[in-house]
Structure 1
Amino acid sequence: MQFKNTKAFAEELDKNDPLRSYRDRFLFPKHKGNDVIYFTGNSLGLQPKNAQEYVNEIMTDWSQMAVEGHFYADKPWWDYHERLAEPLSKIVGAKPSEITVMNTLTINLHLLMVSFYRPTAKRYKIICEEKAFPSDQYLLQSQVRFHGYDPKDAIVEIKKREGEHNFRTEDILRTIKETGDACALVFIGGVNYYTGQVFDMETITKAGHEIGAFVGWDLAHAAGNIELKLHDWDADFAAWCSYKYMNSGPGNASGCYIHERFHNSKEIPRFEGWWGTNKEDRFLMKPEFEPMPNADAWQVSNAPVLALAPYLASLQLFEEVGVEPLFAKRDLIVQYLEFILKDIDAQVAGSFEIITPSDPKQRGTQLSVFLHGSGKSLFTYLMDNGVVTDWREPNVIRLAPAPFYCSFVDMYNFGQLLKKGIEATS
């Protein structure tokens, strides 16, 4: 397709967008009476209009049934989380039995480390990417210290090459091979939060298994954003938050994937609680833990249904659309945004560069733009003029046009504001 940086062309793309009606099913903040241009679905997705309905349903059941809502609500609370497994399995490429929803992301990763980071005197190292999302860095550092190791020795960081913005798969594979049987765990973010680079998860998982390590993924920026095939890729475990591309609300519940080969293993340890016990016997209050025969065995406490309600509401939209049409629009709108960025950059003489990979297979919804001159003043200008975007030190603006609710006209209008902002702040 031959793109044009004109409003008429953007309007034509919107006219032909099969998902255009879904924009009306989300609530937008306003700027001077108009919808903002919202680029931060990679941080917090917009609220689906049906979320309030799902929350109100629980509030009504609570008011009318009190404790009986656990069993007699239209969506009984005691198994509410099970309703999320089927739609989530389609999004992350897993079997429904391999999915559970509980707690929040870093809490779940710590719990999963009980099962999948079990260091020995010989095999104790963790491989991760350098400058991983800070919460992952803190997680890994605290885990190795808890087991009595020095993070400087136990954590092996994959490095970018000098002068390059993104990781090379061959460098990751080389690091895995060189670490060898000293490696207990390979743990990487599926999509790099800073640049938006998508890692070759299938190849990396295979390489980790070849040296005898467990392989897990933080999918905070991947779930709902890119195609995932966790079961087929043979990943051991993964976890993700739900409030970015899956629009479940701020700080909301986390999804977990645990490969089915671990479900009935008596060898694998985990921290246990009563919601992980056999569902049919749970209220017999037996003193011995009898695990559920699926990922729910990793559940510790009963599900926070008020938090799960907006998550379920958003997953209804994913069920309606399907991931393939969603990702098709993602590719087109990101390509159009990239075209506009390059066109504006040519007009204003190299004020910025895109540091996200240009290969569509190595990126999802996000484009990260490194600013050369305007710095944070340009970010402030955009925010003051109705563009909600994201600033990351030292000089990067992250743009994530979520395909559910961003339009092609949004991309065009952003380009015009970007050009004015560069001219006003240079």
Structure 2
Amino acid sequence: MTYDSSPAFAAQLDAQDPLAAFRQEFHIPPGPDWKPSAYFCGNSLGLQPKGVQGALEQVLADWARLGVEAHFDGSSPWMPFHETLTEATARLVGAKPLEVVVMNNLTVNLHLLMVTFYRPTATRYKILMEGGAFPSDQYAMESQARLHGLAPDDVIVELVPRPGEHTLRTEDIEAKIAELGDALATVLLGGVNYYTGQAFDMAAITRAGHAVGAMVGFDLAHAAGNLHLELHGWDVDFACWCSYKYLNSGPGGTSGVYVHERFAHRPDLVRLAGWWGHDPANRFQMKKGFQPMAGAGGWQLSNAQIFPMAIHRVSLDMVDRAGGMATLRRKSEQLTGYLEFLINELRLPKSKLEIITPTDPAQRGCQLSLLVHERGRELFDFLAAQGIIADWREPNVIRLAPVPLYNSFEDVHRAGMALRQFFK
């Protein structure tokens, strides 16, 4: 696409946007002038869909009217409630229904999966992750090492960019995997790096990990609802993600889990067991002796979190109505491409500002991270005063995430013009 910086061009793109109507299905916070803000913080917390209130009110009404019987009766009985999310979740991440389940929160699920997919031995015990991964992932890997009586510094190998670069090269990730070889137990990377916005080549990384006999998994917190995922086709072993960022399912929202079907019928796998993961055919016999149900559901612990799942169902339905992730991804690339164009038009030296997110759309999500070498916090505050809600990351990065379901091209134009005004 050929961009230009005129307001008319942004208006034309919005008029042609097949997803434009979805913006009206969200509550958009007002800016300082009480006009809708330009909200670019969906990589931290997505906006509230207007359908959420009705969904919650229905669940509350069932609880009030039926009490415990709402597990079996009402508008959407609670006993199988989580199952109503399965098909849409499988479509979202490119998986088979058997391979996915919605449960718990993200870091809880990451720990549950690592109990199974990190089984160190005397010679194969290394964990490979990206340097500067989100702190929860760092802490989780440290504690997983300690659970096995190992020192985190001996276990965890961190990938860092080449000198003078901000992102990782796929060939360098593959080379490190090959170098670790038989010592590598588990690869655990983010699908998209939260800081730089870099999207990793998960198919290539999985192939490289499997070639040396390692398990390969991904934290998809910044990838689910952002990238077009094909977890089954890429042969990924395991993954988990949150729902409160690009999936707009509320703060602390429920999490998704993927486990490849090759593990679906493996009751011998070590795991932390819970009642809800037990074979449903005899779950209510209340006997000891855990028998995991088939598939990802066998990693469940407790019965469904009905309220956050009711919210999440609204979001998953919206993704399907929008045409799925392939459709959202097309607009996402246009939004970030337009924002990149407007920033590059400023002709700023890298000593002032540089985009550290990859320029190749295939290597980034719907995010541009701006490394601001001078007056970074001042710029962030200036944008906020203009009704442009971004995200600040220490020491000097501003993240702008134009989300295809609710951000418009006019939003992007506003951000570009605000940056021009600040740097004029």
TM-score tier, shorter chain, comes to over 0.9
Match of 1:132 in 2: 133
% same residue: 52
SS in 2 for 1:194: coil
- Cα pair 1:190 1:218 within 8 Å, conserved: yes
- Cα pair 1:345 1:351 within 8 Å, conserved: no
Match of 2:162 in 1: 161
Deviation of 1:281 (Å): 2.2
- Cα pair 1:378 1:422 within 8 Å, conserved: no
Match of 2:346 in 1: 344
Match of 1:332 in 2: 334
Match of 1:237 in 2: 238
Q: Sort the Cα spacing of 1:283 and 1:349 in 2 relative to 1 into closer, same or farther, 3 A.
A: closer
State which drifts further: 81-90 or 414-423.
414-423
Query: What is the rounded CA distance, in whole Å, between the counterparts of 2:65 and 2:85 in structure 1?
Result: 25
- Cα pair 2:267 2:291 within 8 Å, conserved: no
State which drifts further: 15-24 or 290-299.
290-299
Match of 1:3 in 2: 3
- Cα pair 1:36 1:387 within 8 Å, conserved: yes
Match of 1:405 in 2: 406
* 1:16 matched to 2:24: no
Query: What is the rounded CA distance, in whole Å, between the counterparts of 1:420 and 1:44 in structure 2?
Result: 27
Deviation of 1:349 (Å): 9.1
SS in 2 for 1:233: coil
Instruction: Write the deviation string for residues 95-147 of structure 1: whole angstroms up to 9, x where unpaired.
Output: 01100111110110011111101111111110111111111001101110121
Instruction: Write the deviation string for residues 379-412 of structure 1: whole angstroms up to 9, x where unpaired.
Output: 0111122111001111110010000000011111
Return the TM-score normalized by structure 2.
0.97
Give the 5 Å matches for 1:14-413: 14-31=14-31, 32-321=33-322, 322-346=324-348, 351-413=352-414
SS in 2 for 1:267: coil
Letter of the aligned partner of 1:10 in structure 2? A
Letter of the aligned partner of 1:279 in structure 2? P
Gaps of 5+ in 2: none
State which drifts further: 366-375 or 34-43.
366-375
Letter of the aligned partner of 2:226 in structure 1? N
Letter of the aligned partner of 2:34 in structure 1? G
Query: What is the rounded CA distance, in whole Å, between the counterparts of 1:296 and 1:373 in structure 2?
Result: 50
Letter of the aligned partner of 1:263 in structure 2? A
Query: What is the rounded CA distance, in whole Å, between the counterparts of 1:213 and 1:2 in structure 2?
Result: 44
Q: Sort the Cα spacing of 1:246 and 1:56 in 2 relative to 1 into closer, same or farther, 3 A.
A: same
Letter of the aligned partner of 1:42 in structure 2? N
Deviation of 1:350 (Å): 6.6
State which drifts further: 209-218 or 321-330.
321-330
Letter of the aligned partner of 2:162 in structure 1? R
Gaps of 5+ in 1: none
Query: What is the rounded CA distance, in whole Å, between the counterparts of 1:412 and 1:218 in structure 2?
Result: 32
Letter of the aligned partner of 1:332 in structure 2? Q
Deviation of 1:370 (Å): 0.8
How many residues are treated as equivalent by the alignment?
422
State which drifts further: 21-30 or 335-344.
335-344
Query: What is the rounded CA distance, in whole Å, between the counterparts of 2:143 and 2:350 in structure 1?
Result: 46
Query: What is the rounded CA distance, in whole Å, between the counterparts of 1:422 and 1:387 in structure 2?
Result: 16
SS in 1 for 2:232: helix
Deviation of 1:375 (Å): 1.4
Letter of the aligned partner of 2:344 in structure 1? K
State which drifts further: 289-298 or 359-368.
289-298
- Cα pair 1:191 1:197 within 8 Å, conserved: yes
Query: What is the rounded CA distance, in whole Å, between the counterparts of 1:195 and 1:26 in structure 2?
Result: 27
Query: What is the rounded CA distance, in whole Å, between the counterparts of 2:416 and 2:250 in structure 1?
Result: 28
Query: What is the rounded CA distance, in whole Å, between the counterparts of 2:275 and 2:262 in structure 1?
Result: 22
SS in 2 for 1:280: coil
SS in 2 for 1:344: coil
Letter of the aligned partner of 1:198 in structure 2? A
Deviation of 1:333 (Å): 1.1
- Report the structure, 1 or 2, having the larger helix content: 1
Letter of the aligned partner of 1:313 in structure 2? V
Instruction: Write the deviation string for residues 15-71 of structure 1: whole angstroms up to 9, x where unpaired.
Output: 000000000000011122211000011110000010111111110000000000001
Return the TM-score normalized by structure 1.
0.97
Deviation of 1:368 (Å): 0.5
Deviation of 1:247 (Å): 0.3
- Cα pair 2:235 2:260 within 8 Å, conserved: yes
Query: What is the rounded CA distance, in whole Å, between the counterparts of 1:324 and 1:349 in structure 2?
Result: 33
SS in 2 for 1:77: coil
Query: What is the rounded CA distance, in whole Å, between the counterparts of 2:137 and 2:200 in structure 1?
Result: 16
Deviation of 1:263 (Å): 1.4
Query: What is the rounded CA distance, in whole Å, between the counterparts of 2:300 and 2:350 in structure 1?
Result: 54
Query: What is the rounded CA distance, in whole Å, between the counterparts of 2:282 and 2:61 in structure 1?
Result: 29
Q: Sort the Cα spacing of 1:345 and 1:57 in 2 relative to 1 into closer, same or farther, 3 A.
A: farther
Query: What is the rounded CA distance, in whole Å, between the counterparts of 2:201 and 2:419 in structure 1?
Result: 32
SS in 1 for 2:345: helix
- Cα pair 2:226 2:325 within 8 Å, conserved: no
Q: Sort the Cα spacing of 1:290 and 1:359 in 2 relative to 1 into closer, same or farther, 3 A.
A: same
Letter of the aligned partner of 1:381 in structure 2? F
